[in-house]
Amino acid sequence: MSTQASEAPSDVTTVRAVVAGHGTFATGVISAIEQITGRGSAFLPISNSGLCLDDIQGALAQALDDTGAKVVFTDLPAGSCTMAVRRMIRERQGVLLVTGVNLSLLLDFAMADEVDTVAAVQGALDRGKASMVVYGA
């Protein structure tokens, strides 16, 4: 795995999902999860910085293999990390991709450790969507 794939410390025995995105998105959001809940180790960060699509796909595949995680969260629906996961899941059954994630969504997933993976992802998605509001004129 490239150095970008392991920017934040993580205990692979507790990793439940991979967070992948542009620049330091993944490490930043995982840092916030750690600060708020102490559960940042539930996620493994992957950055696309300096990587081509094939390299991103390789880093993601290695992360899933190393951790046994079945969920990948990405920052942008049409971003390179999302494209890499979409290519990869054609051959990998049981891997879930959630894109356009926000902190509320990831916090909900981090706290849902007693729920099966699909239910945890759906609940987190619902929470993430509900957290997006507009105030003011």
How do residues 36-90 score in pLDDT, each as one tens digit? 999 999 999 999 999 999 999 999 999 999 999 999 999 999 999 999 999 999 9
Band (122; pLDDT cuts 50, 70, 90): very high
Residue whose C-alpha is closest to residue 15's, from 85, 88, 108, 110: 110
Q: What is the mean pLDDT of the chain?
A: 91
- Mean pLDDT across the stretch 24-34? 98
pLDDT value, residue 5: 45
∠ CA(82), CA(85), CA(87), 5° rounding?
110
The pTM of the full predicted model, rounded to 2 decimals, is 0.89
pLDDT > 80? residue 3:
no
d(CA 129, CA 133): 9
Band (98; pLDDT cuts 50, 70, 90): very high
